[in-house]
Amino acid sequence: MTVLLPSGETVPVLGMGTWMMADDPTGRDDEIDALRTGLDLGLTLIDTAEMYGSGRSETLVGEAIGNRRDEVFLVSKVLPSNASTRGTVSACEASLRRLGTDRLDLYLLHWRGTVPLARTLDGFAALVDAGKIRHWGVSNLDLDDMRELTALPGFCQTNQILYNLTRRGPEHDLLPWHAAAGIPIMAYSPVEQGRLLDSPALAAVASRHDATPAQIALAWVLRLPHVTAIPKAGTPDHVRENARARDLTLSPEDLADLDHAFPPPTGPSPLAML
Ligand code: NAP
């Protein structure tokens, strides 16, 4: 199961996040195992950022990938405070060193700061020309920002945003805009950092599928055709569990029950971020 990017290539619908990986040294072996298990299961999109653990997450990802770099669609992000034209180039070069690779598949602006978008895009263009990134995109950009961005030269490949059953605001206007523009979104915190998983409504739907709440929460995000999701799982067992979400199809009854428990938006709301 894949999603088509504007570039014409496809990426797996389900990838892996890495925020807070490498924060606790005692979890390191499990985290590396988790990422390698995910690669074995086809979760070959890995999301990281220079911000995560001040680069420690990128170093861990580099170690986990090792000589499997060519299997991975590798995503990292530049902090807004580094996102001047030259700063973007330097930040990317530092990420590449930590990741132990010569290129990123996708480089995102982590959120919008004070640097004009055009300056960051100039940095992305220089990195593409140098072969250091293959594609670029953004994260946490709301509708007005996306309209401004897409009026500039170049092709944004994705907008990584907070989207899950408890964060349905983007359904009102941002998701329809993305679908019409042909720019997929990448849903982060798809299980609301674990807070969603105690939901009785999710448990009830899960029991109908012989599944777990996490699998249902992920299958719900992935019900839309232009959405990828990047849950973070720190153990191989959680990765295996999450991978099965790709095989689940929610019924109209499931979706109605989830709508009842987690109502869709009735009007516009600003894009939330974590
Ligand atoms: P998340 O993926 O919604 O949740 C991660 C939490 O859920 C972890 O505590 C994990 O525990 C737990 N979990 C995962 N699978 C589970 C399962 N099957 N059963 C039970 N618990 C499970 O939250 P997130 O890490 O915030 O978001 C995912 C990724 O999105 C991040 O890692 C990061 O790469 C990206 N992100 C981007 C932004 C942005 O601003 N662009 C913001 C936030 C996140 P274990 O670790 O114990 O498995």
Tokens 């700063």 found at: 87
SS3 204: helix
Are 15 and 46 spatial neighbours (Cβ–Cβ below 8 Å)? yes
80 lines ligand 1 (CB under 6 A): no
User: What is the per-residue pLDDT across 132-169, written as a single tens digit (0 to 9) for each?
Assistant: 999 999 999 999 999 999 999 999 999 999 999 999 99
> 121 in a domain, yes or no?
yes
Atom in ligand 1 nearest the alpha carbon of residue 164: 3
Ligand 1: which of 189, 230, 246, 271 to mutate, most ligand atoms within 8 Å of CB? Answer: 189
What is the CA(193)–ligand 1 centre distance, in A?
Answer: 5
How many folded domains does the chain comprise? 1
Residue 52 annotated among the catalytic residues of the structure = yes
For the chain, percent of residues with pLDDT exceeding 70: 100
User: What is the per-residue pLDDT across 209-220, written as a single tens digit (0 to 9) for each?
Assistant: 999 999 999 999
Atom in ligand 1 nearest the alpha carbon of residue 49: 34
Residues 6+ apart with CB under 8 A from 23: 53, 56
In the prediction, which pLDDT does 147 show? Answer: 98
> 205 in a domain, yes or no?
no
Q: Which of 52, 107, 163, 188 is catalytic?
A: 52
Can you tell me the distance from the alpha carbon of 180 to that of 238, in angstroms, rounded to the nearest whole number?
A: 34
pTM exceeding the 0.85 threshold for the entire prediction: yes
Within a 10 A sphere around the Cβ of 151, how many other Cβ atoms? 8
Mean pLDDT over 171-189 rounds to 98
> 262 in a domain, yes or no?
no
Can you tell me the distance from the alpha carbon of 26 to that of 137, in angstroms, rounded to the nearest whole number?
A: 33
Within a 10 A sphere around the Cβ of 166, how many other Cβ atoms? 16
Are 99 and 61 spatial neighbours (Cβ–Cβ below 8 Å)? yes
CATH number of the domain where residue 8 is located: 3.20.20.100
273 lines ligand 1 (CB under 6 A): yes
> 218 in a domain, yes or no?
no
> 248 in a domain, yes or no?
no
In the prediction, which pLDDT does 2 show? Answer: 97
Mean pLDDT over 171-186 rounds to 98
Can you tell me the distance from the alpha carbon of 122 to that of 175, in angstroms, rounded to the nearest whole number?
A: 27
User: What is the per-residue pLDDT across 66-123, written as a single tens digit (0 to 9) for each?
Assistant: 999 999 999 999 999 999 999 999 999 999 999 999 999 999 999 999 999 999 999 9
Can you tell me the distance from the alpha carbon of 125 to that of 123, in angstroms, rounded to the nearest whole number?
A: 5
> 129 in a domain, yes or no?
yes
Ligand 1: which of 78, 188, 221, 239 to mutate, most ligand atoms within 8 Å of CB? Answer: 188
> 202 in a domain, yes or no?
no
Instruction: Give the chain's mean pLDDT.
Output: 98
What is the CA(243)–ligand 1 centre distance, in A?
Answer: 14
Can you tell me the distance from the alpha carbon of 94 to that of 201, in angstroms, rounded to the nearest whole number?
A: 44
In the prediction, which pLDDT does 64 show? Answer: 98
